[in-house]
Structure formats: C-alpha cells, structure tokens
Structure 1
Amino acid sequence: MYIHIHSLNNMKTIKSKALIASLDSGLYGAKNFGESLALIFNENVKFDKFLIRKQVESIQSFSNKYVHQRSCQPYKVFPTSKEYDLKPYLKEMPGSEKTNLFNILAKRRSGRAYSPYSISLNELALLCHYSYGISGEDFNKESEATLRFRTVPSAGALYPLELYVYLNTSVLPKGIYHYSPNKSVLEFIKEEDYMEYLRENLVAEPFVDLQHCSCVFFITSFFERVLIKYGDRGYRFILQEVGFLTQNISLLAEFLELGSCVLGSYVDDNINQILSADGTFETVQNVIVIGKNKEVQDDNVTSK
C-alpha cells in the first residue's frame, strides 16, 4: 500500500513541477524538460526512510553464501576466441615530473585530431589493466569467496561493466577485442575492418578524426549484476561506474601522450551488434576514441 502512495506522490511531484515549469520562460526553463524520461526516472528511484529500510532488507537477503560466491565472478567470457596475453607488457610506469598525477589531471583535454599511429601492446596493456583491471584481492571467510578489486569504486564490488576495444591501427590484427580482467588478456572476437561501419554509427566526424584514430574503446554494462542487489536505484551506480572507468581511460591516455575523446551519440543497437551484446541485459554505455594527437606527433618528428 505504501508503494502505491509513494508512486502517487511521485506523480503529484512531477505534475507540480510541470505546473511551475509552465511559468518559466528562461533558456533553461523546466518547461523544456517537464516530461523528460530522465527526470521521471530520477523521481522514481529516490529514497525515503521506508525505502531505505526495504533496500537494507534486500541487501541482507543478497548476502547468501552461494550468491556471494557467484557475484564475485563478474566476467563475460569468449571461450573459443584467440587470446593475446597482456601481462608481459605491464611494465612499471616511469616516474618523472610529467607523470605526476596532478600534472596529468591539469593537462587532461579531449583530443580530436590524430596522426596515423600504431598503438603498442604495452600501451594497450596499461590502458586496459589500470583502467579496469584487477588491482588486489581479499578472501572472505564467511562466504568462502575471493573478492577481486578493480581500479574503480563499484557498488557492492559487483563490477557490472565490460571493456571492448576496436583496434584500427595496431601491432595486432584489425578487429574487435574483449578485455578479460581475470586473465589479463585481450580476447579476439571479430576480425574485420569496422572503420566504415563505425563512421556510420558513431556521431564523430567532422568533429573527431575517427578515420585516423588508433583504437576505440567501448564500455558496456550488465544490468543484472547490480539490479539483483540494489534494484532500480542500481542504474545510478552503473552510470557512476561508467564515469569512473571513462576518467581512468582518459587520464591514462594523457599519461601515455595519447589523445582521447568521449563520444556521447551513437546508434546503440548497431554498436551492440558488433560487440556481441544483446542490447537488453548488456548494452553499450560509453565510447572513447584514442589516437596520437596530431600536433604532438608532428612536434616529435620535427624535433628529431
């Protein structure tokens, strides 16, 4: 009964906001967004004290020993794919003024113009491992499960994301690869030149020089990994984690003197198709283009 009243209250809130919005004539006036699905979703995943108590009960029921053991293995696998081991290429990062974290943060910019550049296995290994790789583990005696931690915060350590990369110019063959964090390998899932397909389905050009990029990273999410514990509010946690991972990739690219640019517009299900994602339980959430900044490489050539 309370849930019904809560839903009615949400509807009243939305109607009240819409009424107020109709009186707002500003550029950012809420009248332009009163029926936004994003705002409706946000209203419906807000917590009050009752829903917080209900959430706690749901989380406690999730803490079953066997459920916990299963949730500690959030990995998508491609068992028949060819694998490229990244572990030998995880060299220690050099330390210098240029690699100071504060300098990297201050320098971070979106890079949109690229020179042809073959990205190395060392660079790919660093981008994958330090953005979403396993950084430590802890054995839980109660559930008899080993928790494996990544380089991002994750609600309940459930890690709902998967990382794919299309290699355009690299020492490896062109095609789609899936990063397997538990094995630290790239799984080669589709050997094909997808550049024209990506140019048709990513809103990039003429603003981003997609054709001359080195690679394109794709972040997908498995909803059930988080929703099973946190319900609809878990979608917020998924998007937060997408942001953490995206920032990691962006900062790592800056560290490696590569340009990166996040793309927010693409034909979702066409991208899902080449990633072997079903589009319902797993779907693309973000796209990051990586390449050698044109001016950086030109300067290096000149200096030689």
Structure 2
Amino acid sequence: MCPISNRDIKAAHDYHTATKHSYWSIRLGSHFLDWEQKPLLFKLYPTLPAIPLPRDITPPAAEALDTISTFQPAGTSALDLTGLAQVLFFCAGLTKKKVYPGGEEHDFRAASCTGALYEVEIYAVCGDLPGLSAGVYHFCPADFALRRLRAGDLRGELTRATAGEKTITSAPVILVLTAIFWRNAWKYQARAYRHFYWNGGTILANLLATAVSAQLTSRVVTGFMDARVDHLLGLDNEREASLCLVPIGAHSPAVEPPEILPIAPETVPLSKRETDYPLITQIRAASMLLNEEEVQAWRSAFAPRPSPPLGDQYFPLYPIEREQRPIRTLGEAILRRGSTRQFAQLPISFQQLSTILERSSRGIPADFLGGPSTTLLDIYLIVNSVENLPTGAFYFSSSQQALELLKEGTFRREAGYLCLEQGLGIEASVVVFFLADLERIIERYGNRGYGAAQLEAGIVGGKMYLCAYALGLGATGTTFYDDDVTQFFSPHAAGKATLFALALGHSARVHGRITRLRPGAD
C-alpha cells in the first residue's frame, strides 16, 4: 500500500473535524474508562540492565522568568552525565507524591500531562560523554535510570534523518520525544493525537528552560524522516511514534554511522488488552516525511504573517520588574508545579498577567518557526478577575505586546461552559485559549503542520505554567468545546481552530499530603 503523502492535506482536516468536542458529542458518546485495562505509566525493558543516573543534581538556580523567556543561551557549557540527569529530571522526572484522603497515592512529574497518563517517552542518542559511553538509551523516570538499546555513536543516523540539520550534527546528545498511543487513548480515544503534542510541549518548555539555565544550546527539530528515527529507537510504529528531536549542546561532531540493524527489545505490556484507534495511526502516517526532499521542504516552509492592527480599546502590557517582588528560581517553580484542581476566585494583578504573556511569547528555537518573534498561534483570553483590567474577552497581540478588548462583560459562566462545563473556567482569574489558522498552516506545511501547531501551543502553555508558578500562582490545562470557543471570540476569531486552553489564577488548597521527592528518589 502506498504511504499517504504529507501534502494530501485532507487527512489533517478530517482528523481535526472528527475529534472535535461539542455539546452533543460529549453527551452522546459511549466511551467509559475500563480501569482494569488502565495502561502502565512507565515503559519498562525487563531484560535490559539499569544505568542509574546521578542523584546529587542541583536544581536550576537561574531566575525562572529569565530562563523561560530566553530564546537561545550562549551555549558555553559542556555536557556530562550529571548535566544530562539534570535536564531529564527537570523535564520529566518524578517531583512529588500526593496522598489523598482515603490513602490513594499519585506521583507527579516535572511537566503537566493530560489525565496524568504520561504517554511521552524520552530517548537519548549520544556520543561519548564523561560518565556515559556512546549509545542509544531510554530514560525511565520510575527508577531514574537509563537503559541502553544500542551501543556506539549513532548520532550520524539522526543527521541523515534530518537531512543534515546543523544543530543535530554538532550536539553531544540528541533527545528524542515519542508518544505511546494507547497510554493516552485509553482515556481520550482518538483525540489523544492532539494530546501527544500538548504534553510533549509542556515537557519541552521545561527542557528548553533547564538548558538555558545550564548555558546549553538546544533546539526543537520536527523535520526528520520518521521511519529512520523510529527504526533507530526500535519502536513499534503502530503503537509508538517519534514527535521531535532536541539537540543539546554543541561542538561535538557526529561520526558516520554503521548500518542500523533492526532491534526489538522486550517490553512489559501496558495492559492486558489495547484498543486501536485508526484515526491516530492514519493521521500519523499522513504526517510522515519520507525522504530528504520532504525534510528540506518542511524546513523552508515557514512564512511570517502580518500582525493585525489593534482596535481602539487596548491595554499595553505592564510586566513586573524584577526588583518589585522576589521571583522563584526555575528549579523552585518546577518542583512546586502541579495542575491546579481548584482556584480561589481571587484577582491576580495586571502586572502578573502581563509578565506571563510577555515572557511566554518571546519565541521558541524550533525548525518550523522563523525566529524569536514568529508564531503559528493566536491567543485569546477571557478575563474574569484581573486588577486594573475590565472583565471581558481579549485578543493578545504578541508583536505589539498589548491586549485588545473584544467585548466587555462578565463571562465566568461562558468560560466554564467553553472549558467543557468545568468549574475551573468559572473559578480562574483568566482562561487563555490558543487558536490558529489551520487552513493556512496545513496548506503551507502539509499534515505535519497540524502537529507543529499543537506542539507550539503545548510549549507556550508550558511556559505559562512555569511563569505562573514562578509568580506564586497556579495553572491548569483544560479541554474545550472546539467550535464554541471560535464562535465566542468571533468575528475576530472567525475561521480559526481551537488548539489548547489554560486556566490561570490563585490556587485553592485541596486536601491531601504532599511529599516532595529529591531528584531520583524512589
């Protein structure tokens, strides 16, 4: 059977339409959670020996808001095993354990994830590092260890897969983020494909900030030949797929790799039975890049778009100055982070909101974006309670660093409804909605542009998470009624698709005992 081309863009439109939430789709859906089949939350290789990562790593001490907003650090540091352990822990490690009334325990990781199902896995492809020999490794947060899948310096295979991407060819370590389909689809069915990129994005927000704190260069690379990367990692690509590559560090040229033979290391089954969702495998197959020409075309696809002029009523951002209040370090923000389950319905300051928007919109080093001021996203807000700002619906202009008032009024009830009728939208001080012109994006990028837009939304949302916790606030991602969000913000948002939503505000205390875990704790 011939593979579907990335340019056959009907696939992305069909997937997006088929996975929209609406008032009636929620009520008429027959899905239920089969708790006996809940997937294992860790990928385990029972026959591969563990290589423990150093546990005496130091939390990133840089001021959180600086690391979140820096597009690219100077890149003066060399990477060793301890540095790699720091990056892995603060983007995907186990950070705390909460015991709820009744004795139920839950482990939290450094970055948020829909349903706390953690379907995103991380692999490391590296040359020889101080403390670690060259190879292909899988990272397991459960025991904070690596397991070697292949020996030898195979970074050159990723150079081939990316058609010579410069940051890949010189990085001592390339991290590969993948998604295991069933682990998220168990709860979210075919819509899980969207979640792969949201959850990968929140991990990347932490990863990029941690790299900045350590003075390590990093970049999100989404243009690669999927089959080559999946083959290198030994993935069953009907069940797990590569999302992106992240080269970390520089000045370590890769060598020409040998022939990459197949591997199929034994893994522990996620559950006794898995349900297949063909929409996921179909959109994934339709988004793959098959050869060097398609990778090169992907890399050159970005075209900047003009920013729309602001209306008559707008509010320039007024970010917090550093000396006005103490700001948490990046390590403190990540260790305190946790998706807020209830908001206190207290106002946040306009300075706090300005700081979150300004710092999270300073750009992402990614191959599908043209630079620090470019984006695929349009950001809209429902403001419920912000000091010195009227309640209402707003559009955020990142280029002009201002909020445009679209309509004034009290919209708590509407915010709750749009967030799939959840109280979080009512209680939050602000609900942020990420929209995009999917027609334009898919036309230019092909089906793969759909995942890229979702990934950018996850990264920017992850940055907002970190900013909120750096400022002593709370945040949580939330799902939504797709077309109703667009309708609410129209005519300004007419023709745009909703990608992601995030609620911000003061967290209310929820009963339960929290134990904060040190890096690598059992």
| Bin for the TM-score computed over the shorter chain | 0.7 to 0.9
Number of the residue aligned with 1:24 = none
Paired residues for 1:44-123 under 5 Å? 44-55=18-29, 58=31, 61-62=32-33, 64=35, 66-67=36-37, 70-71=38-39, 73-94=40-61, 99-109=62-72, 119-123=79-83
CA distance in 2: counterparts of 1:54 and 1:138, whole angstroms: 34
Matched letter for residue 253 of structure 1: A
Q: Does 1:37 find its partner at 2:11?
A: yes
Does the 8 Å contact 1:153/1:241 carry over to 2? yes
Q: What percentage of aligned pairs have identical amino acids?
A: 20
Q: TM-score, normalised by structure 1?
A: 0.73
2:154 aligned with 1:180, yes or no?
Answer: no
Inter-partner Cα distance in structure 2 for 1:210 and 1:178: 18
Q: Give me the whole-angstrom Cα distance separating, in 2, the residues matched to 1:215 and 1:264.
A: 16
Distance 1:247 1:93, change over 3 A: closer
What does residue 9 of structure 1 align with?
none
Matched-pair contact (CA < 8 Å) for 2:134–2:152 = yes
The offset of 1:76, in angstroms, is: 0.9
Cα distance in 2, alignment partners of residues 151 and 203 from structure 1: 32
1:197 aligns to 2:157 (yes or no)? yes
Query: 1:169-248, aligned counterparts within 5 Å?
Result: 169-171=128-130, 172-205=132-165, 208-248=166-206
Q: Is the 8 A contact 2:172 2:251 kept in 1?
A: no
278 and 147 in structure 1: CA distance in 2 versus 1, 3 angstrom threshold:
same
The answer to which of 236-245 and 284-293 deviates more is: 284-293
- For 2:170 and 2:149, the matched residues in 1 are separated by 22
Shift of 1:252: 0.9
In the TM superposition, residue 63 of structure 1 has moved relative to its aligned partner by: 6.1
2:213 counterpart of 1:255: yes
SS at match of 1:88: coil
Contact 1:158–1:225 (Cα < 8 Å) also in 2: yes
C-alpha deviation, 1:118, in angstroms? 5.1
Which residue of 1 is the match for residue 279 of structure 2?
Answer: none
Please, which runs of 5 or more residues in structure 1 have no aligned partner? 1-32, 295-304
- 1:41-65 CA distances to partner (integer Å, 9 max, x unpaired)? 111111221211245x52xx3163x
Q: 1:35 to 1:63 in 2, by over 3 A?
A: closer
The one-letter amino acid paired with 1:52 is: I
Residues 234 and 211 (structure 1), Cα distance of their counterparts in 2 relative to 1, 3 Å cut: closer
Which whole-Å CA distance do the structure 2 matches of 1:161 and 1:125 have between them? 17
Counterpart code for 1:79: P
Structure 1 contact 134–151 (Cα < 8 Å) conserved = yes
Deviation string for 1:173-231 (max 9, x for gaps)?
Answer: 111011110101111221022132222112343xx243321100000111111112111
- SS of the residue corresponding to residue 241 of structure 1 reads helix
| 1:276-295 to 2 correspondences below 5 Å | 276-292=234-250
Runs of 4+ in 1 over 6 A off after TM superposition: none
Residues of 2 paired with 1:163 and 1:214: CA distance? 16
Whole-Å Cα distance in 1 between the matches of residues 23 and 156 of structure 2? 52
Q: Which moved more, 1:215-224 or 1:163-172?
A: 163-172
Give the letter for the 2:51 counterpart.
Y
How many residues of Structure 1 are paired with residues of Structure 2 in the alignment?
A: 245
Report the Cα offset of residue 123 of structure 1.
Answer: 0.7
Equivalent position SS for 1:197: helix
TM-aligned CA deviation for residue 237 of structure 1 = 1.4
1:147 has 2:106 as partner: yes
Matched letter for residue 284 of structure 1: S
The corresponding residue for 1:162 is 121
Q: TM-score, normalised by structure 2?
A: 0.44
Partner of 1:267: 225
SS in 2 for 1:186: strand
The separation in 2 between residues aligned to 1:185 and 1:34, in whole angstroms, is 41
Shift of 1:138: 2.8
On the 8 A contact 1:260/1:291 being kept in 2, the answer is yes
Q: CA RMSD in A?
A: 2.6
- 1:129-158: per-residue Cα shift (whole Å, max 9, x none)? 11011112234677x763221122211111
Whole-angstrom distance in 1 between the partners of 2:247 and 2:9: 33
1:169·1:213 contact (CA, 8 Å) conserved in 2? no
CA distance in 1, matches of 2:136, 2:167: 19
SS of aligned partner of 1:51: helix
CA distance in 2, matches of 1:293, 1:253: 16
Partner amino acid, structure 2, of 1:156: G
Q: Distance in 2 between matches of 1:100 and 1:200?
A: 37
Residue 72 of structure 2 aligns with an amino acid whose one-letter code is R
- Give SS of 2:138's match: strand
Q: Which residue of 2 aligns with 1:134?
A: 94
Structure 1 residues 38, 127: closer, same or farther in 2, change over 3 A? Answer: same
Aligned-partner SS, 1:259: coil
